[in-house]
Structure 1
Amino acid sequence: MLKVSQRGQDMPVSPFRKLAPYAEAARQQGKIVYPLNIGQPDIETPAAAMAAMRTADVRVLGYSHGAGTESYRHKLAAYYQRANLPVKFEDIIVTTGGSEAILFALLTCLNPGDEIIIPEPFYGTYTAFAIAAGVTIVPVTARIEDGFALPPLADFERVITPRTRAVLICNPSNPTGYVYSRAELESILGLCQVHQLYLLSDEAYREFCYDAPYVSALQLPGAGPYVVVLDTISKRYSACGARIGALVTLNKEVYTAAFRFAQMRVSPPGLGMLLAEAAADLPESYFDESKAEYLARRDLTVARLQAMPGVVCPRPGGAFYVLAHLPVDDSETFGQWLLESFSYENQTLMLSPANGFYHTPGLGRQEVRIAYVLNRTDLAAALTCLEHALRGYPGRTMPQSAAALEIAAPLPV
């Protein structure tokens, strides 16, 4: 009897796309659905980058070097150097999005059956990459009460075994928006040095830190042998569809092995690298406008959520996500109800249930990730829908008397 592989059976549904069929059905009914479920920015991709791709004099779109074109790697190295990362073009492997960088890092640094420690909640797709690589995720739980700060080192020490090979962090964090401080990064690197573990650092949101300067794990003293940076232009330049990422490491053994995986898929996307190379030429001031816009969206989102009865929402320091606790029985049930049974002025919204961002069963059941990637007018409208929905949801967990009082109060628009 034909049967798909065990890894195929174990592969999870995307945590930020699992409600998409319900959203499609809602739109077919004529509802406006605000997509706060996925990190797809509505900020325009830089015009200069788009023009470089459109006007390129390319007669044959051929393979590039397996690590990416040398011209792009030189410009990307210059970008990292401006950000105070000690990177040369020979330290960079251009990948098909940040996703491929993550997969290459797992395939390079860990064997099947090895363990990787990841603070949870974490980017849900890490689970899929771990399954593909035959790697076991060992979670260490960050708490919403602490704003999702790095858990105590003792929690990491407690789960280290002879099979532990690496620690994976996302900084700033997807899904929480938490930004690790230099002290936190130094402590986790110190742990890796003591136990001889790799530190895989997903830095996709580097440009979007709002309350403190960004620190890369690769900037820390002694980072060279241990740190592998995973990167992408998807969020930096609002170019998700270009599918251009990077694996960056000063460890030559890691680089050589990862390059063999890169050769296996021949080369990264040629047109995407043309766009990325032009984007890398943009001045530092390019980020001023997009960063200010995301900051304004963060402040709007957090202020509105914190004003909703029963909602707990830490203020994220970076990226463009919040992870909030809602007064609902089950966030996935609530998310489906929003799309199937609720509308306010013929509008509703799509969220990401947070259970898909936790590895420990049962966690995140009352939490959601909200991506504040829409313009502020639409974002405010979506949050107004959420406020109305929380008051009318049959599975709300607020005390009935308090809920009744809130329903009687007028809602801001």
Structure 2
Amino acid sequence: MPSISNKGQSMPESPIRKLVPFAEAARKKGKKIYQLNIGQPDIETPKVALDAVKNNDIDVLSYSHSAGFESYRNKLAKYYDKNDIPVDAEDIIVTTGGSEALLFAMGSITDPGDEIIIPEPFYANYNGFANSSGVNILPIRATIKDNFALPPISEFEKLITNKTKAILICNPGNPTGYLYTREEIEQLAELALKHDLFIVADEVYREFTYDGVKHHSIMSIPGLEENAIMVDSVSKRYSMCGARIGCLVSKNKEVMTTAMKFAQARLSPPTFAQIAAEAALNTPDSYFEEVNEEYTQRRNLLVEGLENIPGVNVAKPKGAFYCIAELPVKNADDFAKWLLEEFEHENETVMVAPAAGFYSTPNTGMNQVRIAYVLKKENLTRALNILKIALEEYNK
């Protein structure tokens, strides 16, 4: 029998999606599941984006430019300028989701065997993207006791070798919800310039910041133009996860010329989704004000509810819509499966994402879960009550 590649065998499962078969089986048994495992907002997509597709009179659904619609890139540049990110349309390549932008970035700046330093826990798919690119991740631990703040720069410097090409951050963070301060971003910038490294910043949650704290983009740091690469997406910003539209942004011309080769190899991003994404840029600021207020209330409800469950420790997020919680269990993976396979309270249960899959260091985060507060407040309240009852029963 022909053999599977080593790369394929070592490709990690998604901690977010690997429990889906268990959830499907639970639903077939009639259980209602409160999904706290995946960042799929229940906020309505802006009507202007949906109408742009619904009312379109395209006769031929053709390819777009490999970099995406010029009109969309021009509008994106204006959007970024409004957010203190000075870029031009030629500094932007539209991609099929932020995932493709990350793959283009890794393909453009690394060779097999090169290294990227990433504070952990981090977005689980970074492991998969690195694996498929032949890149080694050097994790540096952020801790729940520090609310997952940036680890000391001295710890980053210890990891840098002649194989290190970049530092990758997610800001605000998935899965932690941590929002880097201006000082932390500037410290990373100084380190990148000192060692001639790239900083790749995944900034897809830019709009979701709380408590009056401002987001600081890596693209806004003077003098870092040749080192900064930004990944972005419409998925969360406009509750358009299914559109699969993102972008890669950099003022480094060599990076963008190289990334363009990858963009040409996959031909073009999807046409209808670009139409929706371009129209979404007309969404009024009031939309985000209302959404942020809703997420702030959900965050407060979730954090307070988790803190009231005996044995649970939780980091309070400043952005995005996730938090990491430590549970009074030895193995959160087993607990998450048990919730779906064996447990029910009044024929209902909850689904969480075991956090070990958000680490690169083996056997780390074994008692942690990532929780996405993307449900309405009444559903979050119910889910918290179920989780409390489940932990009591599991630990008997």
Q: Sort the TM-score into its range (normalised by shorter chain).
A: over 0.9
2:314 maps to 313
Deviation at 1:283, TM superposition (A): 2.3
Taking the aligned partners of 1:222 and 1:7, their CA distance within structure 2 comes to 37
2:377 maps to 376
Taking the aligned partners of 2:62 and 2:18, their CA distance within structure 1 comes to 36
2:17 maps to 17
1:329 maps to 330
Taking the aligned partners of 2:279 and 2:78, their CA distance within structure 1 comes to 13
Taking the aligned partners of 1:313 and 1:167, their CA distance within structure 2 comes to 26
Q: Which runs of 5+ in 1 are unaligned?
A: 397-413
1:27 maps to 27
Identity %: 54
Taking the aligned partners of 1:148 and 1:19, their CA distance within structure 2 comes to 26
Taking the aligned partners of 2:319 and 2:336, their CA distance within structure 1 comes to 25
- State the SS of the aligned residue for 1:285: helix
Taking the aligned partners of 2:185 and 2:166, their CA distance within structure 1 comes to 14
1:301 maps to 302
Summarize deviations over 1:331-376 as a string: whole Å, max 9, x none. 0011011111111111100000000000101111000000001111
2:101–2:248 CA contact under 8 A, matched in 1? yes
1:50 maps to 50
Runs of 4+ with >6 A deviation? none
Taking the aligned partners of 2:12 and 2:214, their CA distance within structure 1 comes to 35
Summarize deviations over 1:373-409 as a string: whole Å, max 9, x none. 1111111111110011111113x7xxxxxxxxxxxxx
Taking the aligned partners of 1:192 and 1:258, their CA distance within structure 2 comes to 20
Summarize deviations over 1:139-177 as a string: whole Å, max 9, x none. 000011100000011111111111000000000000000
Taking the aligned partners of 2:41 and 2:101, their CA distance within structure 1 comes to 21
1:137 aligned onto 2:147: no
Q: Counterpart amino acid of 2:270?
A: P
1:60 maps to 60
- State the SS of the aligned residue for 1:74: helix
2:274 maps to 273
Taking the aligned partners of 2:200 and 2:288, their CA distance within structure 1 comes to 25
2:298–2:377 CA contact under 8 A, matched in 1? yes
Taking the aligned partners of 1:23 and 1:321, their CA distance within structure 2 comes to 20
Summarize deviations over 1:79-112 as a string: whole Å, max 9, x none. 1111110011111000000000000000001111
- State the SS of the aligned residue for 1:184: helix
Q: Which runs of 5+ in 2 are unaligned?
A: none
1:407 maps to none
Instruction: Report 1:72-221 matches (<5 A).
Output: 72-211=72-211, 212-221=213-222
Taking the aligned partners of 1:354 and 1:8, their CA distance within structure 2 comes to 22
116-125 or 335-344: which moved more? 335-344
2:48–2:282 CA contact under 8 A, matched in 1? no
Deviation at 1:137, TM superposition (A): 0.5
Taking the aligned partners of 1:284 and 1:105, their CA distance within structure 2 comes to 30
Taking the aligned partners of 2:370 and 2:315, their CA distance within structure 1 comes to 12
Summarize deviations over 1:247-306 as a string: whole Å, max 9, x none. 000100101000111000010010000000100122222211111111111011000001
* TM-score of the aligned structures, taking structure 2 as reference length: 0.99
1:364 maps to 365
Taking the aligned partners of 1:135 and 1:256, their CA distance within structure 2 comes to 21
- State the SS of the aligned residue for 2:285: coil
Taking the aligned partners of 1:224 and 1:61, their CA distance within structure 2 comes to 36
Deviation at 1:321, TM superposition (A): 0.2
How many correspondences in the alignment?
A: 395
1:199–1:226 CA contact under 8 A, matched in 2? yes
Instruction: Report 1:230-269 matches (<5 A).
Output: 230-269=231-270
Deviation at 1:239, TM superposition (A): 0.1
Q: CA RMSD in A?
A: 0.8
Q: Counterpart amino acid of 1:72?
A: Y
2:66–2:267 CA contact under 8 A, matched in 1? yes
Taking the aligned partners of 2:276 and 2:58, their CA distance within structure 1 comes to 13
Q: Counterpart amino acid of 2:20?
A: A
Q: Counterpart amino acid of 1:113?
A: G
- State the SS of the aligned residue for 2:314: coil
